[in-house]
């Protein structure tokens, strides 16, 4: 019970703006639940994963590592599999890693844009309901020639306040969830980069093609100077 009203009564007092707010709440809840299940399903301890990965590689279990990584749903494991498949083809490996990494991050960031949309739209719909409620209240005052009782304005005031409350109640948890999922996605992206760098270091390679280019250019300049 809220202010002596149940949820259905409050919903009906909120006017037409409550229906799109209800839709926003359903969409936001569905996205949050789906993303929570997704991140729970792909959870991975990065430190333990890399430690075991290096141990297996040191023991020449590359085929087993590749098979296990291909079965995994986590983007870090997927990138590991790609790296091991193309580790002897530097140029091709980098291109494939970028492509597969982008595809993996698309899955990680899926529906976050829709969640952000709900976060921004819900307060605006609440504000719209507030404005229409106030318009209704002033319209009542006009019709009654200014001779009104507080009870005559109750419907418009209820609509004005309830829609704002509902809009914020929807937007606040959706915004918190959005930033949490965005942080998780950024963490996965960074760790994918860390993993490639660690594997480059493990196999005795440089982690960036730009680094190769800078070294080549520096060597050429030194040769020109010597010449």
pLDDT of residue 38: 93
pLDDT for 210 beyond 60? no
pLDDT for 189 beyond 60? yes
Q: What is the pLDDT of residues 75-93, one digit of tens each?
A: 999 999 999 988 888 778 8
Do residues 170 and 120 touch, judged by C-beta distance below 8 A? no
pLDDT of residue 25: 94
User: For the chain, which residues make up each domain, given as ranges?
Assistant: 7-218
Higher pLDDT, 85 or 220: 85
pLDDT of residue 3: 59
pLDDT average, residue stretch 103-124: 93
pLDDT average, residue stretch 45-55: 90
**Minimum mean pLDDT range among 1-5, 165-169, 185-189:** 1-5
Q: What is the largest CA-CA distance in the chain?
A: 100
pLDDT range class, residue 18, cuts 50, 70, 90? confident
Q: What percent of the chain has pLDDT over 70?
A: 76
């Amino acid at each position: 019970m809220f202010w002596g009203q149940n949820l259905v009564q409050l919903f009906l007092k909120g006017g037409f703006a409550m229906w799109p707010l209800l839709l926003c709440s359903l969409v936001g809840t569905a996205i949050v639940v789906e993303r929570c299940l997704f991140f729970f399903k792909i959870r991975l301890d990065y430190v333990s994963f890399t430690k075991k990965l290096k141990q297996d590689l040191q023991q020449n279990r590359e085929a087993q590592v590749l098979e296990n990584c291909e079965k995994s749903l986590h983007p870090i494991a997927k990138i590991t599999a790609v790296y091991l498949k193309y580790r002897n083809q530097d140029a091709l490996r980098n291109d494939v890693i970028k492509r597969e990494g982008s595809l993996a991050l698309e899955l990680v960031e899926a529906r976050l844009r829709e969640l952000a949309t709900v976060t921004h739209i819900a307060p605006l719909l609440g504000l719209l309901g507030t404005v229409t409620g106030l318009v209704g209240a002033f319209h009542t005052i006009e019709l009654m020639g200014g001779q009104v009782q507080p009870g005559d304005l109750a419907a418009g005031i209820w609509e004005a306040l309830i829609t704002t409350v509902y809009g914020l109640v929807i937007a606040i948890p959706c915004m918190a969830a959005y930033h949490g999922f965005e942080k998780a996605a950024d963490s996965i992206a960074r760790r994918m980069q860390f993993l490639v760098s660690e594997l480059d270091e493990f196999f005795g390679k440089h982690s960036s093609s730009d680094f190769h280019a800078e070294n080549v250019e520096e060597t050429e300049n030194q040769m020109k100077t010597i010449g």
